Amino acid sequence: MLHQIITYIKWLPKTFHLHGIHSPFVFSFEKKCLKGKSKDENVSKLIAYRNTLLQNNKIISVTDFGAGSRVFRSDERMVKDIARYAGAPLKRMQLIERMITYFQPKNILEIGTSLGMGTIALSANPESVVTSLEGCPETAAIAQQQLQDFGVSNVDIIIGEFGESLQKINKNKFDLIYFDGNHSKEATLHYAQEMLPTITNETVWVFDDIHWSQEMTEAWHILKKLPEVTVTIDCFYIGFLFFREEQHKEDFFIKL
């Protein structure tokens, strides 16, 4: 928590210099997506999905391959507690939904399904195909049932350790990848390297909790320097990487 506070204080002044955004691509993305408005019917669906989980008293045994939890001390957890403390906040869900509506990606990869709170937002475009990876079978089962109950049919959840799952799909091309499955520096960088062969000029990479810890901040700075990356956008809680060859390499800091 101390790291986040110190990092935020250093990050905030960088967001005050956006008046001179000369990139039409970034200007449009900021105005129409990052600071845009979600459709009421989409928001209602996201709220209903989240509220259903917040009312679920089922206890499941969580298998955690990631950096661990700052909240939970036991692997036995109530679904509603996972949704409240570890699930995507509603504003994050809305941002993801707007991102899908804006870019209209056809092939989407999510690394870290959890209860599917980000997944349902990623599925906003019915023409897209969402592949979502989850390491915990019991968590994945909740997500699969939830998505089915909400009529979502364009999501395929693959259960297993992320490194093994990625090796099975890294020959595909993905228009958008949402990294939200392991908040450690080593794993984040490893997954990124595994997925580099899948990028195209239009691919978008989205990283959740980029300043969650010192490790994640370090990983984010390394990712920004990848030679394939041109434009980066740091919104503190979430980061975007773009691979557009026609863009000059530039870093943006945008307060949502």
Query: Consecutive sets of 10 residues in the chain, 256 residues long: mean pLDDT of each?
Result: 91 77 88 93 96 96 64 77 90 96 97 96 96 95 97 97 91 95 91 95 97 96 97 97 94 93
Alpha-carbon span 234 to 239, nearest angstrom: 5
| pLDDT the model gives residue 70 | 47
pTM of the model: 0.93
Alpha-carbon span 119 to 114, nearest angstrom: 9
Amino acid identity at 79: V
H or E stretch including 162? Answer: helix 162-169
| pLDDT the model gives residue 113 | 95
For the chain, give the longest Cα–Cα distance: 51
Alpha-carbon span 92 to 87, nearest angstrom: 10
146's tokens: 């939830």
Alpha-carbon span 1 to 6, nearest angstrom: 9
Residues 6+ apart with CB under 8 A from 103: 33, 175, 176, 204
The DSSP code for 75 is S
| Strands (E) located in the chain | 59-61, 76-78, 107-111, 129-134, 155-159, 176-179, 204-208, 231-234, 238-242, 250-253
Residue entry with tokens 């010192």: 214
In degrees and rounded to multiples of 5, residue 146 shows phi and psi of -60, -50
126, burial (CB in 10 Å: exposed 0-12, middle 13-18, buried 19+): exposed
Which residues are bridge partners to 60 per DSSP? 77
Full set of structural domains in the chain with CATH: 2-253 (3.40.50.150)
| pLDDT the model gives residue 19 | 60
| pLDDT the model gives residue 63 | 80
| pLDDT the model gives residue 75 | 79
